[in-house]
Structure 1
Amino acid sequence: MTIRAPILLTFAALFMLSGCVGQAGPVGNSAVPQPVKSVEISRYLGRWYEMARYEAPFQKGCEGVTADYSLRDDGKIAVINSCTKNGKVSTAKGRAKIVDAEDGQPQNAKLKVSFFGPFYGDYWVLDRAEPNSSGQYDWSIVGEPSGRYLWMLTRTANPDDNVRAAIKARVIDMGYDWSLVRQTKHD
């Protein structure tokens, strides 16, 4: 009986947690590709602006979405996500850790991210730009294995039409349903 109690409490907590986050959206890609390029973490750090996304329950109604990544003393990555909803800015702080690549896979392209407790979600950098003249990546496409979540990130709040078109073409080429994409507004 004493062994069952912790297991039941864990399942109860997970059930309640799933209600807080909401139901995931439809599958936009039933054959999610593996990341195609290694990621140099130092080039990935800094501020990103969300260009577009698959609508996620925890982001419903968010505009002006940003993500800031920095290296922590323990080797993990600090994550600060912000969005504006109904005129109010909300912020979520988390941490990410790099998942070791399997033989033949790109290095540092798969991470696990947590915003609360011991619960981690997949964060895969599916593709990214080549480094620019300052050494950073100008855009990245982030997904996870279920095909329900997708984010397109850029270094500028309002990328030009050529960048938008290139990212859209790449997302479609990877098998994602573009009709599920929601453009993010930035002031």
Structure 2
Amino acid sequence: MPARRNAALPRHRGWPIALAGAAAIATLLTLSACAARPPAGVEPVGSFDVERYAGHWVELARIDHRFERGLIQTRAEYRRNADGTIKVINRGYDPKKKEWRESVGKARFVGEPTRAALKVSFFGPFWGGYNVVALDPNYQWAMVVGSDLDYFWILSRTPSLPPGVRNRLLAKARAMGVDVDKVLWVDQGKDGS
């Protein structure tokens, strides 16, 4: 009888590893879903029209992160997909490597599509927040924060903002808790185009 118990033991040794792996994946997916929420105290724009927001945008300013570090002439394009998601195409020029870099992802709304709170993914099941927190009534410029205030962008349909808008957006960002000293104004020159 003891021999049978020992023979069955190796079959069940993998269970703890499998359960730990499943728990780790569940935790990552849960954290990814939580990461898509707006930061505390940040309210995304209401009465949002994704059709008007779609199209080409110039990234005028950002808080730099490894996925964009060193890029100039950065742009974003948003297109509505048939399934209700939004195709996201980010593109920028790397002057050191003398090449264009592009990332393609998708976004979906977190809640109602009339509230500019979205989550975006470029890497499989992992999502980050994309919250439009200021928007021109004519959809000519926008300010966006991610899942936390270290992810920050100012976008425009053109390579410059109307007079006074830059200072108003920075004041709003500062009031939300964004460290505006970290904001990088992106070179929109023609190098490499």
With normalisation by structure 2, the TM-score equals 0.74
Equivalent residue pairs, number: 163
62, 66, 69: which is aligned to 1:53? Answer: 62
**Quick one: which amino acid aligns to residue 111 of structure 1?**
L
TM alignment of 1:163-178, pairs within 5 A? 163-178=165-180
Report the equivalent of 1:151.
Answer: 153
Report the equivalent of 1:21.
Answer: none
Structure 1 residue 39, shift from structure 2 partner: 1.4
Over aligned residue pairs, what C-alpha RMSD do you find? 2.5
Report the equivalent of 1:69.
Answer: 78
More helix by share: 2
Residues 128 and 140, structure 1, Cα contact 8 Å, conserved in 2: yes
Structure 1 residue 172, shift from structure 2 partner: 2.3
Distance in 2 between the 1:160 and 1:6 partners? 56
48, 51, 62: which is aligned to 1:42? Answer: 51
SS at match of 1:33: coil
Report the equivalent of 1:124.
Answer: 131
Q: Deviations over 1:33-69 (max 9, x none)?
A: 2224331101110011111111112111111110000
**Quick one: which amino acid aligns to residue 108 of structure 1?**
R
111, 114, 122: which is aligned to 1:115? Answer: 122
Distance in 2 between the 1:68 and 1:93 partners? 10
Structure 1 residue 168, shift from structure 2 partner: 2.2
Structure 1, unaligned runs of 5 or more = 16-29, 132-136
1:6–1:140: structure 2 CA closer, same or farther, 3 Å change rule?
Answer: farther
Residues 31 and 147, structure 1, Cα contact 8 Å, conserved in 2: no
With normalisation by structure 1, the TM-score equals 0.76
Distance in 1 between the 2:110 and 2:40 partners? 21
Residues 32 and 144, structure 1, Cα contact 8 Å, conserved in 2: no
Q: Deviations over 1:52-90 (max 9, x none)?
A: 111112111111110000111111100000011122100
Task: Percent identity, please.
Answer: 33
Structure 1 or 2, whichever has the larger Rg, is: 2
Structure 1 residue 176, shift from structure 2 partner: 1.8
Structure 1 residue 185, shift from structure 2 partner: 0.7
100, 119, 127: which is aligned to 1:89? Answer: 100
Report the equivalent of 1:99.
Answer: 110
Structure 1 residue 31, shift from structure 2 partner: 5.3
